[in-house]
Structure 1
Amino acid sequence: MKKIGLTTTVPLEVLLAAGYTPIDLNNIFVVSKDYGKYIEKAERDGFPKSMCAWIKGIYGACIENGIEEVLGVTEGDCSNTKTLLEIFKKNNIKIHSFGYPHSHSLDDIKNELDKLMKYMDVSYEEVEYQRNRLNLIREKAKHIDNLTLEGKATGFENHILQLCFSDFDGNVDRYSDFLDEKIEEINKRVTDKKELKLGYLGIPPMQGDLHDYVETLDGRFIYNEVQREFAFPRAMNSKNIYEQYYDYTYTYDIDFRLDDIKKQIKERQLDAVIHYTQAFCHRAVEDIILKQELNIPILTIEGDKSNALDARTKLRIEAFLDMLKDKKRSEKINE
């Protein structure tokens, strides 16, 4: 099967029906042991220091891994993607684009999906076949989410296993088998609940040690907002491909995202949330709205190029969680 690089989560069902193997360039970049080489490659080729590390990492991962074809999301994700696709084109990489309409209209998302299906020369029936196949596997992500709530799966497992649904780790059947093995392993564990139940908001972090560090402080992320959306937790409720991608919260306006965030905060009885922002990313401004709209303690942290937490951020997280534990213990005494 032909490989196609992705700049974010896209309708995989269309690509699979067209005979492609989707590869999320974000995942190649961030899980690499030598992830910095991708950023350096981009900066050597002229990308400015003051640009988001994710965009530079995606570029470097694509060029260094010989990806010859890319599908980029030009509406609903990173504002720099359109220019990135133009640069790929100048590097003789075949580019395709897809947009999540800002209107968040079912008719408009249907038009975008129909255009993509026509462009990829696949039928609605072929796409629906792939959708039903993938959604059976996506149900396993919900099982992992429940195991996190039970105190068996860690916050990092919740994060990384749902994150990989953006491309099914490059091989749908192999990832499905891996999930079966992982679920069996997690099920055998003794329950280990932490004192603080936390939510993670925002794009997946550059810092791979964030989730584990929080666990050393007796906290656990039992809700990873965007990662959970990558796994389409409500897919089985959708009648067709159009409804499924209409119901995907990440790429639409903040109010649509907030509805589900508020619901999850209440259902999971979270003690607080940590909002991750990426340096030089336009989404960082959403922090203002989150703090206005969410009636829960929020700590905002920022990442740039480093894939590990710095000492200052660790200290801020520790102080925030200590404050939450003191508050929680005080409330128990006064009950």
Structure 2
Amino acid sequence: MNKIGITTTVPIEIVYCAGLIPIDLNNIFVTAENNARYIEVAEKEGFPKSMCAWIKGLYGVCMEHQINELIGVIEGDCSNSKSLIELWKQKGKKIYPFSFPYSQKKKELEKSLSDLMEQLQVDLDQVEEKRKELNQIRRLVQEIDRLTFEEEKVTGFENHLYQVSCSDFQGDPKSFAVMLQSVLDEMKSRTANPKKLRLGYIGVPPMTIDIYDYVETLDARIIYNEVQREFTFPRAGNAVSIIDQYLDYTYPYGNLYRIEEIKKQIEKRKLDGIIHYTQAFCHRALDDIMIKSNIDIPILNIEGDQSPALDARTKLRIEAFIDMLSDLKGVYQ
């Protein structure tokens, strides 16, 4: 089976129906022991220092691992993706374009899905069957999420890890499902380990993975990972078709649509505060303005760049934020 690279969550049902193995370049990049080497590959090609480290990392992963086919999301993802896709095409990579229409109109998304199905030579009936199969696996990850915020048996990092893995099911849905069931059985047997503060994490998955463990050393836990949770399609049970399922996916559409779901989760999970992560040199940093003007609980914005670990200044800001939340919680209890 041939591998095909993805740079964000795409209709993975179509990919698996085509007999291809999806590889999320983000997951290879962020989990690498030395992910700086991928950035160096891009910078040697002429990528500027003042460009998002994720874009450079994705380019480096693709070239180093010799991934020759990719689904290029040309609308509904990073604003630099179009240029990255053009560069890959020049390098001889085969690109299958896909769009999440900004309008969020059903007819436009239906056409985008149909075009991808045609390119990969699969039909709608096949895709719908695969959707049912993959949604059963997603429900296992949704149970891990429930154990995080309801039973307090799962760490923030574990919550992040298994949800983000739903972008490609680690290239093998059946093996992923077996592993998940084993993990779930172990998690359910744990004793609850509540923390004083319940936090949300919103924005793109972090470059600085150690944020989860660091927050827990301060008697707090991230029990809501916004974008990672969207990778599991938590409302897929309400969707009658793949069109509805991907129309309901909040990440590629407008901020107000995202914020509506974030507010629901703040109330449901009883969050004390939110950490909003943005990547240096990314247009999504502007999202923080809209988010803070529409959400009425405390929000800390932190920015990551190339380092895979939190720096001392950011740790100090997180600690001060958690101290403030602890004081507020003491006042209002």
Alignment partner of 1:269 is 2:270? yes
How big is each residue's C-alpha offset from its partner over 1:224-276, in whole Å with a ceiling of 9 and x where there is no partner?
Answer: 00000011111121001000000000000001111101110111110000000
C-alpha distance in structure 1 between counterparts of 2:90 and 2:154, whole Å: 44
C-alpha distance in structure 2 between counterparts of 1:175 and 1:52, whole Å: 30
Instruction: Give the match for residue 43 of structure 1.
Output: 43
How big is each residue's C-alpha offset from its partner over 1:12-32, in whole Å with a ceiling of 9 and x where there is no partner?
Answer: 011111111000001010100
Identity %: 55
C-alpha distance in structure 1 between counterparts of 2:33 and 2:50, whole Å: 23
Contact preservation (8 Å) 2:74, 2:81? yes
Contact preservation (8 Å) 2:96, 2:116? no
Instruction: Give the match for residue 125 of structure 1.
Output: 125
Provide the secondary structure at the position in 1 that maps to 2:198.
Answer: strand
Instruction: Give the match for residue 7 of structure 1.
Output: 7
Instruction: Give the match for residue 134 of structure 2.
Output: 134
Provide the secondary structure at the position in 2 that maps to 1:95.
Answer: strand
C-alpha distance in structure 1 between counterparts of 2:190 and 2:81, whole Å: 42
C-alpha distance in structure 2 between counterparts of 1:110 and 1:92, whole Å: 29
Q: Counterpart of 2:229 in structure 1: which amino acid?
A: R
CA displacement at 1:330 relative to structure 2: 2.4
Moved more, 309-318 or 322-331: 322-331
Contact preservation (8 Å) 2:6, 2:22? yes
C-alpha distance in structure 2 between counterparts of 1:228 and 1:184, whole Å: 20
Provide the secondary structure at the position in 2 that maps to 1:221.
Answer: strand
Alignment partner of 1:181 is 2:182? yes
C-alpha distance in structure 1 between counterparts of 2:39 and 2:252, whole Å: 25
Instruction: Give the match for residue 301 of structure 2.
Output: 300
CA displacement at 1:101 relative to structure 2: 0.2
Normalising by structure 2, report the TM-score.
Answer: 0.99
C-alpha distance in structure 1 between counterparts of 2:295 and 2:329, whole Å: 19
CA displacement at 1:189 relative to structure 2: 1.0
Pairing 1:206-285 to 2, within 5 Å after superposition: 206-285=207-286
C-alpha distance in structure 2 between counterparts of 1:267 and 1:208, whole Å: 25
Q: Counterpart of 1:7 in structure 2: which amino acid?
A: T
C-alpha distance in structure 2 between counterparts of 1:300 and 1:15, whole Å: 35
CA displacement at 1:186 relative to structure 2: 0.9
C-alpha distance in structure 2 between counterparts of 1:74 and 1:59, whole Å: 16
Instruction: Give the match for residue 172 of structure 2.
Output: 171
C-alpha distance in structure 2 between counterparts of 1:96 and 1:144, whole Å: 33
Pairing 1:24-43 to 2, within 5 Å after superposition: 24-43=24-43
CA displacement at 1:331 relative to structure 2: 2.3
How big is each residue's C-alpha offset from its partner over 1:269-318, in whole Å with a ceiling of 9 and x where there is no partner?
Answer: 10000000000000110000000000100000000000000000000000
Pairing 1:150-169 to 2, within 5 Å after superposition: 150-169=151-170
C-alpha distance in structure 2 between counterparts of 1:20 and 1:225, whole Å: 28
C-alpha distance in structure 1 between counterparts of 2:21 and 2:260, whole Å: 33
Instruction: Give the match for residue 94 of structure 1.
Output: 94
Provide the secondary structure at the position in 2 that maps to 1:306.
Answer: coil
C-alpha distance in structure 1 between counterparts of 2:246 and 2:290, whole Å: 24
How big is each residue's C-alpha offset from its partner over 1:119-152, in whole Å with a ceiling of 9 and x where there is no partner?
Answer: 2111100101110110000001110011101110
Provide the secondary structure at the position in 1 that maps to 2:314.
Answer: helix
How big is each residue's C-alpha offset from its partner over 1:74-115, in whole Å with a ceiling of 9 and x where there is no partner?
Answer: 101001111111111121111111000000011111111111
Q: CA RMSD in A?
A: 0.7
Normalising by structure 1, report the TM-score.
Answer: 0.98
**5+ long unaligned stretches in structure 1:** none
Q: Counterpart of 2:123 in structure 1: which amino acid?
A: S
Instruction: Give the match for residue 115 of structure 1.
Output: 115
C-alpha distance in structure 1 between counterparts of 2:61 and 2:142, whole Å: 30
C-alpha distance in structure 2 between counterparts of 1:237 and 1:189, whole Å: 31
C-alpha distance in structure 2 between counterparts of 1:105 and 1:89, whole Å: 29
Instruction: Give the match for residue 319 of structure 1.
Output: 320
C-alpha distance in structure 2 between counterparts of 1:46 and 1:198, whole Å: 39
Instruction: Give the match for residue 66 of structure 1.
Output: 66
- How many residue pairs get aligned? The number is 332
Q: Counterpart of 2:207 in structure 1: which amino acid?
A: M
Pairing 1:138-149 to 2, within 5 Å after superposition: 138-149=138-149
Contact preservation (8 Å) 2:96, 2:119? no
Alignment partner of 1:54 is 2:54? yes
Provide the secondary structure at the position in 1 that maps to 2:78.
Answer: coil
Provide the secondary structure at the position in 1 that maps to 2:28.
Answer: helix
Provide the secondary structure at the position in 1 that maps to 2:154.
Answer: coil
